[in-house]
């Protein structure tokens, strides 16, 4: 499924053998690649070229950079202000805010909409993202009308992580695929907490104990900043648990 690590710089020529060629499916270009008509594929980011032959997709993997909204991704946003029918939500510092309709919450009607103060956090899904318009979000699934975990996040604490780390945390099997074992280790050590991760590099942690939240946040941030492997993560967790008691 994944090929040998091939490092590319923007403008590099890609070896045709790395481009997946399924007889029926079209090639899907992920982030970091540019199509130059008629048939050239050029990388636009410096990173590892990853080919997924099953999905017939190809992309360039990087772990740093600023978040750029893409449709379908789950993000944690901060409410800036509210206008007539819509909230302005900031997904990352210094970028243009995204729009979240005030009725886009579970069982919200014109009379019973949730009031969110500036500074409140929401867990939302991106519904519209292109370069010409402000991004748009929703806190409820458009088809079923259920929230599925989306909506305001109350209390807890927000930590910033890199975009790459956020992606690892959101993998379905993070311990195996992403080699992020910190959260499991901390839970095994008896700490009780819940987390929510946004693709825009934000991690929300909540627990009854203040110390637990601090420990979880520190563990993830250190794993991120120092690119710790699985064993090093276990050592870090042991150290933090010892400091706790």
Partner 1 sequence: MPREAEPSLSERTFTLQAISEGLRLDSRKLDQFRPLELSFGDEYGVADVKLGKTRVLAKVSAEVTVPFSDRPFDGIFQITSELGPMVAPSFEVNRPTETEILLARLLEKTIRRSGALDTESLCLIAGQKCWSVRVDLHILSADGNLIDSSCLAVVAALRHFRRPDTSIEGETLTIYTAAEREPVPLSWLHSPFCTTFDFFGEDGEIVLVDTTWLEEQLRVGSVTFSLNKHGEICQISKLGGKPVEATLIIQCAQMALAKSKEFTDLVDARLAEDAKRRDKGGLMAELSAENER
Partner 2 sequence: MASPTAELSHLPKTDGSANFAYGGYTITAAVNGPVEAQRRDENPFEALVDVNVRPAAGVGGTGERQLEAILQPALRHLIPVRNFPRCVIQVTLQVMETPENAYVNPKVMQPRLNLGIIPALLHAAILGLLTAAVPMKTVASATCLVITDADGSSVKVDPTPAEIDQARSVHVLGFTAGRDLLLAESEGSFSADEWATVLQTAEKVCCRSQEAGGDAEMGGYGAESENVQQFMRSVLEAKAAEGLHWR
Binding site for partner 2 (CB under 8 A): 2, 5, 7, 9-12, 32, 34, 42, 44-48, 50, 61-66, 68, 94-96, 131-132, 164, 168, 178-180, 225, 227, 229
Within 14-73, which residues bind partner 1 (CB under 8 A)? none
Residue 120 interacts, among partner 1, partner 2, none and using kind-specific CB cut-offs from 5 to 8 Å, with: partner 1
Q: Are 162 and 201 in contact (CB under 8 A)?
A: yes
With binding defined as CB under 8 A, does residue 153 bind partner 1?
Answer: yes
Spatial separation of the C-alpha atoms in residues 241 and 218, rounded to whole Å: 11
198-236 b/e (C-beta count within 10 Å ≥ 16 → b): bbbbbbbbbbeeeebbbbbbebbbbbbeeebeeeebbeb
Spatial separation of the C-alpha atoms in residues 50 and 59, rounded to whole Å: 5
Least distance (Å) from partner 1 to the CB of residue 5?
30
- Asked if the peptide bond before residue 38 counts as cis, ω within 30 degrees of 0, the response is yes
Q: Are 125 and 140 in contact (CB under 8 A)?
A: no
Closer CB to partner 2, residue 90 or residue 141? 90
Part in contact with partner 1 (CB under 8 A); list of ranges 28-36, 139-147, 150-158, 168-176: 150-158
Distance of CA 119 to the CA centre of its chain: 20
With binding defined as CB under 8 A, does residue 241 bind partner 1?
Answer: no
Residue 145 interacts, among partner 1, partner 2, none and using kind-specific CB cut-offs from 5 to 8 Å, with: none
Least distance (Å) from partner 2 to the CB of residue 105?
26
Part in contact with partner 1 (CB under 8 A); list of ranges 104-112, 123-131, 155-163, 184-192: 155-163
Structure-token pair, residue 99? 């729009």
Q: Are 1 and 49 in contact (CB under 8 A)?
A: no
Residue 34 interacts, among partner 2, partner 1, none and using kind-specific CB cut-offs from 5 to 8 Å, with: partner 2
Tell which residue, 128, 153, 150, has the closest CA to residue 141: 150
- Helix (H) or strand (E) holding 76, with range, is strand 74-82
With binding defined as CB under 8 A, does residue 134 bind partner 1?
Answer: no
Tell which residue, 212, 155, 166, 225, has the closest CA to residue 186: 212
Pairing of strands 121-130, 98-101: unpaired
Residue 132 interacts, among partner 2, partner 1, none and using kind-specific CB cut-offs from 5 to 8 Å, with: partner 2
Residue 135 interacts, among partner 2, partner 1, none and using kind-specific CB cut-offs from 5 to 8 Å, with: none
Structure-token pair, residue 213? 């939240």
**Which position among 34, 35, 55, 211 is part of the footprint of partner 1 (CB under 8 A)?**
211
Closer CB to partner 1, residue 14 or residue 203? 203
Rule CB under 8 A: which residues touch partner 1?
A: 78, 80, 93-94, 117, 119-121, 153-158, 204, 210-211, 213-214, 217-218, 243
């Amino acid at each position: 499924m994944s090929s040998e690590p091939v490092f590319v710089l923007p403008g590099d020529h890609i070896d045709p053998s790395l481009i997946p060629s399924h007889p029926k499916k079209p090639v899907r270009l992920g982030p970091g690649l540019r199509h130059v008509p008629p048939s050239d594929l050029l990388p636009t980011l410096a990173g590892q070229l990853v080919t997924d032959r099953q999905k017939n997709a190809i992309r360039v993997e990087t772990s740093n950079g600023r978040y750029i909204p893409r449709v379908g991704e789950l993000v944690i946003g901060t409410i800036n202000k509210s206008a007539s029918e819509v909230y302005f939500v900031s997904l990352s510092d210094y970028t243009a805010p995204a729009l979240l309709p005030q009725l886009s919450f579970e069982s919200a009607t014109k009379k019973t909409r949730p009031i969110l103060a500036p500074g409140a956090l929401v867990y939302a899904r991106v519904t519209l993202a292109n370069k010409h318009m402000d991004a748009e979000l929703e806190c409820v699934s458009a088809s079923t009308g259920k929230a599925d975990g989306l909506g305001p996040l109350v209390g807890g604490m927000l930590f910033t992580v890199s975009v790459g780390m956020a992606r690892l945390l959101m993998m379905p099997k993070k311990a195996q695929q992403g080699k992020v074992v910190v959260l499991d280790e901390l839970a095994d050590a008896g700490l009780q907490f819940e987390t929510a991760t946004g693709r825009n590099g934000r991690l929300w942690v909540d627990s009854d104990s203040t110390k637990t939240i601090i420990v979880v946040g520190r563990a993830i941030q250190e794993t991120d900043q120092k690119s710790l492997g699985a064993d090093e993560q276990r050592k870090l967790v042991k150290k933090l648990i010892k400091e706790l008691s």
